Structure 1
Amino acid sequence: MKTKIAIQGVKASFHEEAAFKYFGQDIETLECSSFKQTCEMLKQGKADYVVMAIENSIAGSILPNYNLLRDYRFHIVGEVHLNIQQNLLALPGVKLSDIQYVESHPIAIRQCDEFLSDHSDWIIKEGLDTAGCAKKIKEEQLTNTAAIAGEFAAKIYGLQILEKRIETNKKNATRFLILSNEVVEQKGANKASLSFQTGNGVGALAAVLQCFAEQNVNLSKIQSMPVVGRRNEYDFYVDVEWKKQADYDAAIRKVLKHTVNFSIMGEYIKNEKV
């Protein structure tokens, strides 16, 4: 039985690429139309894992996905970074001068705004998924439309690459989380994702951050999200990294004294960017 991975998007999407990069090729990817649907697949036991984008080096954090992490309480068992290279894809034989419409995911469009501004006559349409837009061109044989998507999508859907590497910033990377319904023990874990709330007093958050600093635990990310229905209250999501397990354990013991609703969302092995 192949491991089943729920992904947002269709075959050849960046989520599928991330799944292959983390798990290898011998997996079954389950196409989902939304991130919420991927979570439902995992909750119902139809998928073994979810691969979920959480931040992009250009577009920033994907905030709705933090809400899903809070609501579903899955365990983060790993992470993977993917360098995102965007290309302009069209049917074989179509020329740049034939293009009237360009379709892609809103974030992909934003990543290519410099290239697109050079073609102000094109009508830009937002789609649900980069690879999905490529698939649509193939299925509907659209000769006046191009998609912004990855090289993998061109290969899978038999499209030609009209223009390569059209992203504005060539250091464009997305970080994906690997989510599981079960706690998966990670030997050699050196990174954790935590969530908590603090009091409203002066320096409440600073006191928490100081606990990590004192124990030589590096804070690699902090994200705040409003607590639904409660004014001036926030959930804080932090990623921390450590070299010595004892330092991390001591930091957690200290942090517990300064926080409420503290949760370890996952302890896993840090994935170095490629």
Structure 2
Amino acid sequence: MYKTLLLEKEGRIATLILNRPDAMNSMNGVMMKELAECLESIKQDTSVQVLLLKGEGRAFSAGGDIKAMLDTDNPFNIEEAMSYVSRIAMALYTSPQITIASVHGAAAGLGLSMVLACDIIIAEENSKLAMNFIGIGLIPDGGGHFFLKERVGIPRAKQLMWSGQIFKGKEAKEIGLVDEVASEGLGWATAMSYAQKLMKSPLAAMIASKEILHANQIKELELILEKEAKNQSAMRKTVDHLEGIQAFVQKRQPEFKGK
């Protein structure tokens, strides 16, 4: 059904797997579109009460596909991409399911925004989490500003976004970025065990509490997504962004000019 995703259902549990392992599950236009459509369809599935997210291969997701951004044969449509990532963020935040992210390897940029949109985050010890848009002269998108602020507060969120600092599992838990740390290679087993415990819980009550807690924040998320889309489009045209992606491809340190 999907080119870049695998969706599996077993009873009341659904598993969504990002499936571009050769590209470390970096998100191109096709994956963004499929994620938006898939998550919106899961929202409508009343038989599902728990949704698990994971990445195939070596990572959860390395974020946006920078090579796709540089493909002159198929120009990257930033406005379309922003529409998809906004839909992904809103679908996750308003989903009538308990969402669990299982992180191994990298969860960077847009990949981390997606992780932070989930209710429960389990990261392996050696996973690498970074809100590292700054490295290519961009701002967080996919609700990254909103979800990071929700997790760690505004002052810490600014520092994490501006530095692009990489956190391993235990460091991430210490600052409240993730909920549980699993041993290397056991992230998925831990997430599945968590899901099985939820199956024995009064899930209807838990989902109702989630809806109540999120209800008043939805308008703020919508506003932030709108501002992210507008500003990301502007950042894509900056000298610093061009330098950032060229430096990334050339594997050198960027020389930013603040323009």
TM range, normalised to the smaller chain?
under 0.3
- Larger Rg, first or second structure (1 or 2): 1
**Which structure: greater helix fraction?**
2
**Which structure: greater strand fraction?**
1
TM-score between both structures, scaled by the size of structure 1: 0.25
TM-score between both structures, scaled by the size of structure 2: 0.26
